[in-house]
A and B are shown apart, each in its own frame.
Chain A
């Protein structure tokens, strides 16, 4: 039994009047790939942003490596070893590729991931390191954002909507990197609308529906129907498309 890296217990988060995350609990073990899936508006991003410290918790606890994160600023959480690759990449537009990576390297910890290591992982980067962030395609930007996150040398890498707006072939290529990242001792928490990707790569799937946990378990123990029901809500049977 490995150690618990992140523990979220009874978490409630409000967006003004709206309850975005409603009583959600889960644990992530070291070395795990944990996928949170759910439809648009299920509260996935709010959940991640709350863990990263960008949102105030209404109730509940988040603890990381056994330490309660209450009152700890986002940049301090990065130093503790968690990194969030935000939805929509959010690269620094006026900085070059290399400068974007260097900002990541300046924050967080020192460790296995160095600029050279990232350039090894993404071999197309060195040749284009002086180009500005906005000059890259969506997939390339996602890779740069991943690199920036990895350079903080996190123990837990959280990725919000990894595949959003990317071409299928690009998504496949980026997902192929995840096992390699885990091999470096990083646990990964991914949030996805695209169920098939999430389920295929993860050791544990946690499904949110309207802010609540609707299903949680190991992917091999879950049937496609269970996931479908948890994703869309009971009683509905959508035509097809996103089911695994």
Chain B
């Protein structure tokens, strides 16, 4: 029973990791940019949900309705201006720029809201749970987060495979120059990919704030887990990212079972094993991205 519990808890956390990581994976797949500010964006979204959205008389539990679209728009604009400019210089510049962005965000949050821990207040939903078995307690929030992750990854997969815009995103990811020669404006496509990445990470950030406490520096550790989920699953595969996230979650829960200090260690060990045995990730292909 304890093992089942580990699996279920791991899967619940893994759903969150996948939601958090899919934008990172998408941005890397499409424009070869590793966004080091990805984790901080999630934290910003959570702060906005706690401090700014209530001014609009929207309850915090529904804050994602406001924050997610706004983040999508910001993502498009940041890509078309800041990130595109750094891509035009050289790939290394994008690392410096996104790292700089990360530092700026963390410090602005510290300055504005102090280092105190915050949570997104969702009332009784936060501590209610469902217990189907004797020792089983599944928090509603975690279940909702896992379900939303699966739905969003599914919708994203559908969007990429069935729509014209999605096809163009995959085409740009495969061969940017050939896509331009087929009449695709790759900068616009980059913008769309960034919009999706920002929107999904905003949702992940709010979900994070609902399940646990966060502070201005929470982005970094989550970014690490997101990287691990993406690499374990295989870069460019959305379902791979979900499986990667869940595997990472289970490994961490297993670690926690042996010693409360072991979750990160066990996650890292899994990550290293995958890197050593199957560097392209569980679902990664060599020829295809996305």
Q: Which of B36-44, B83-91, B111-119, B168-176 is near enough to bind chain A?
A: B168-176
Of all chain A residues, the one with the shortest Cβ separation from B290 is A94
B181 A95 Cβ-Cβ under 8 A: no
A16 to chain B, nearest CB (A): 15
> Quick check: is B288 within 8 A (CB to CB) of the other chain?
yes
A148 at the interface (CB under 8 A from B): yes
Of A79-87, A120-128, A209-217, A225-233, the segment with at least 4 beta carbons within 8 Å of chain B is A79-87
Query: Any chain B CB within 8 A of the CB of A139?
Result: no
A54 to chain B, nearest CB (A): 6
Stretch at the interface among A35-43, A97-105, A172-180, A198-206: A97-105
Closest to B188 in A: A75
Q: How large is the interface on A (under 10, 10 to 19, 20 to 34, 35 or more residues)?
A: 20 to 34
- Whether B167 contacts A95 by the Cβ 8 Å rule is yes
Report chain A residues within 8 Å CB of B171: 92, 95, 99-100, 103
* Closest residue of A by beta carbon distance from B164: A106
B185 contacts across to A, CB distance below 8 A: 73, 75-76
* In the bound complex, CA of A102 to CA of B182 (Å): 10
- Closest Cβ of chain A to B59, distance in Å, is 41
Distance in angstroms from B281 CB to nearest chain A CB is 15
Chain B: interface size category: 20 to 34
Q: Are B170 and A95 in contact (CB under 8 A)?
A: yes
Complex: A85 Cα to B183 Cα, angstroms: 12
Query: A86 and B177: CB pair below 8 A?
Result: yes
In the complex, the answer to whether A92 meets B183 with C-beta atoms within 8 Å is: no
With A73-B185, A103-B167 as contacts: A54 and B177 at CB distance below 8 Å:
yes
B183 touches A107 (CB 8 A): yes
* A31 close to chain B: CB less than 8 A: no
Question: Known contacts A75-B186, A86-B181, A148-B182: does B287 contact A102 (CB below 8 Å)?
Answer: no
Tell me if A28 counts as interface (CB < 8 A to partner B): no
Q: In the complex, A37 Cα to B213 Cα: how many Å?
A: 68
Which positions in A face B, CB cutoff 8 Å?
Answer: 52-54, 73-76, 78-79, 83-86, 90-95, 99-100, 102-104, 106-108, 132, 134, 148-149, 152
26 contacts between A and B (CB under 8 A): A53-B180, A54-B180, A73-B185, A74-B181, A75-B185, A78-B180, A78-B181, A86-B178, A90-B175, A90-B177, A92-B170, A92-B174, A92-B175, A92-B178, A93-B175, A93-B288, A94-B285, A94-B287, A94-B288, A94-B289, A103-B168, A103-B171, A103-B179, A103-B182, A108-B183, A148-B182
Nearest 5 A/B pairs, CB to CB: A107-B183, A94-B288, A78-B183, A90-B178, A92-B174
